[in-house]
Amino acid sequence: MSIPIKPVFVDEKLREVQESGRLAYRSHALPTWCPGCGYFAIVEGLTHACNAMNLPRDQTAVVSGIGCSSRFPFFVDLYGFHTLHGRALPVATGIKTANDRLTVIAVGGDGDGFAIGGGHIAHAAKRNVDITYLLFDNGIYGLTKGQTSPTSAVGLRTSTSPFDNPERPLNPLLMLLSYGVSWLGQAYAGRPDHLRGMIADAIAHRGFSYLHILSPCVTFDKTSRTYVNLGLQVREIPEGHDPTDLMAAMRLAQDTDQPALGLFYHQKRPTLGDTFDEIAARARAKTAPATD
Ligand SMILES: Cc1ncc(C[n+]2csc(CCOP(=O)(O)OP(=O)(O)O)c2C)c(N)n1
Ligand code: SF4
Ligand SMILES: [Mg+2]
């Protein structure tokens, strides 16, 4: 007697919707995130952006580190690589360098990106490797059950700061601008329409694009980065902001009390791939046999 094998993690309703073409780019795996987590809006945002841009599934890769956010590749129907804690960017850089035709999207959390993986961001930005980095900032370590992270607010009480976090948070936007990022934007999981447009714009940029996504962890932070607080704090990028003006972008990044949503900065300059092509051409010219 044969026993019917039912695939695990398959949600039949989701499969129906996906096969009808309405939710192309969603995988059959149902997200394992807590109900209400901001990350649901990000997975929807990426799948909408992929639809809008008609990205070929077999030419697109999503690379993550470790964290609740880094489970992301399971939930999209694209090539995926769930790597090691903090190592999404080196792996994404390697993938893009090996096959320049791929669209490569790195994803991860504030702990993954700015604690253990913090050393990699500067190099990806300065090299201008042509990948997109979606950073899900919930100001806490979600997966390991609520420890203080590099972007936790002063005063946040967590399991590792039982007398409230005394440290000032990093300012990721200001850091990226000083590292030489060529596209920088900010979005909020509570504004899904704006978020999906920002994801598409970040992917469309040629060079290293960094999208900072503010997102509540509804399970381990009940006081700081909540939907209510963030909803009251966020604002549009002021009208008249010139996204080619680095100093104006830096000034905007300093206002962390009222985080601005939109495009902070962009710049056109050669990518890492362009630089390698140019070096290869020079090397070929140097070693070419002389013709007379
Ligand atoms: C080398 C190593 N150190 C520590 C851990 C434990 N760890 C797993 S995820 C994580 C932090 C995740 O926080 P974040 O990147 O903010 O993701 P979130 O869960 O909030 O989405 C830590 C410390 C690990 N998996 N590997
Ligand atoms: S623990 Fe926090 S970050 Fe992780 S899935 Fe739950 S709400 Fe989201
Ligand atoms: Mg986090």
Per-domain residue ranges of the chain: 12-287
Q: Is the pLDDT of residue 10 over 90?
A: no
Cβ < 5 A residues, ion ligand 3: 109-110, 138
pLDDT, mean of residues 63-87: 97
Q: How far apart are CA 172 and CA 124, in angstroms?
A: 14
Q: Which ligand 1 atom minimizes the distance to the CA of 138? A: 20
Model confidence over 94-104: pLDDT tens digits?
999 999 999 99
Model pLDDT, residue 11: 59
* Confidence band for 138, pLDDT divided at 50, 70 and 90: very high
Of the chain, the percentage scoring pLDDT greater than 90 comes to 89
Model pLDDT, residue 6: 45
Write down the number of H helices and E strands in the chain.
10, 8
Q: How far apart are CA 102 and CA 92, in angstroms?
A: 10
141 Cα: distance to centroid of ligand 1 (angstroms): 6
pLDDT, mean of residues 207-236: 98
Q: Which of 144, 215, 217 to mutate to test the pocket of ligand 2 (most atoms within 8 A of CB)?
A: 217
110 Cα: distance to centroid of ligand 3 (angstroms): 5
Q: How far apart are CA 223 and CA 33, in angstroms?
A: 20
Q: Is the pLDDT of residue 8 over 50?
A: no
For residue 184, what are its two tokens? 């920088």
Q: For residue 106, give the nearest of 147, 150, 71, 62 by alpha carbon.
A: 62
H helix or E strand, kind and range, residue 275? helix 272-287
* Confidence band for 22, pLDDT divided at 50, 70 and 90: low
75 Cα: distance to centroid of ligand 2 (angstroms): 15
More confident residue, 289 or 173: 173
Tell the residue nearest (CA) to atom 5 of ligand 1. 85
Tell the residue nearest (CA) to atom 2 of ligand 2. 217
Q: Is the pLDDT of residue 93 over 90?
A: yes
Q: Is the pLDDT of residue 259 over 60?
A: yes
pLDDT, mean of residues 121-128: 98
For the chain, first and last CA: distance in Å? 79
211 Cα: distance to centroid of ligand 3 (angstroms): 15
Angle, nearest 10°, between helix axes 172-179 and 118-127?
A: 40
194 Cα: distance to centroid of ligand 2 (angstroms): 22
Q: Which of 2-11, 96-105, 270-279 has the lowest mean pLDDT?
A: 2-11
The chain-wide mean pLDDT, for the chain, equals 93
Q: How far apart are CA 91 and CA 45, in angstroms?
A: 23
pLDDT, mean of residues 136-141: 98
Which residues' Cβ are closer than 6 Å to ligand 1? 66-69, 85, 108-112, 116, 136, 138, 140-144, 149
* Confidence band for 13, pLDDT divided at 50, 70 and 90: low
Model pLDDT, residue 24: 80
Q: How far apart are CA 258 and CA 80, in angstroms?
A: 34
Question: Any idea which ligand is nearest the CA of 71?
Answer: 1
The answer to whether 29 and 73 have CB atoms below 8 angstroms apart is no
Model pLDDT, residue 17: 56
Q: Which ligand 1 atom minimizes the distance to the CA of 149? A: 16
Q: Note the CATH number of domain 12-287.
A: 3.40.50.970
Q: 98: helix, coil or strand?
A: helix
Which residues' Cβ are closer than 6 Å to ligand 2? 33-34, 37, 39, 68, 138, 142, 217-220
pLDDT, mean of residues 124-137: 98
The answer to whether 109 and 69 have CB atoms below 8 angstroms apart is yes
* Confidence band for 289, pLDDT divided at 50, 70 and 90: confident
pLDDT, mean of residues 130-150: 98
* Confidence band for 12, pLDDT divided at 50, 70 and 90: low
β 260-266/183-188 pair status: antiparallel
The answer to whether 222 and 247 have CB atoms below 8 angstroms apart is no
Q: How far apart are CA 75 and CA 72, in angstroms?
A: 6
The answer to whether 152 and 142 have CB atoms below 8 angstroms apart is no
Tell the residue nearest (CA) to atom 5 of ligand 2. 33
Q: Which of 72, 112, 120 to mutate to test the pocket of ligand 1 (most atoms within 8 A of CB)?
A: 112
The alpha-carbon radius of gyration of the chain (Å, integer) is 20
Q: For residue 122, give the nearest of 195, 79, 178, 169 by alpha carbon.
A: 178
Q: Is the pLDDT of residue 1 over 70?
A: no
* Confidence band for 58, pLDDT divided at 50, 70 and 90: very high
pLDDT, mean of residues 219-223: 98
Q: Which of 110, 116, 133, 141 to mutate to test the pocket of ligand 1 (most atoms within 8 A of CB)?
A: 141
* Confidence band for 118, pLDDT divided at 50, 70 and 90: very high
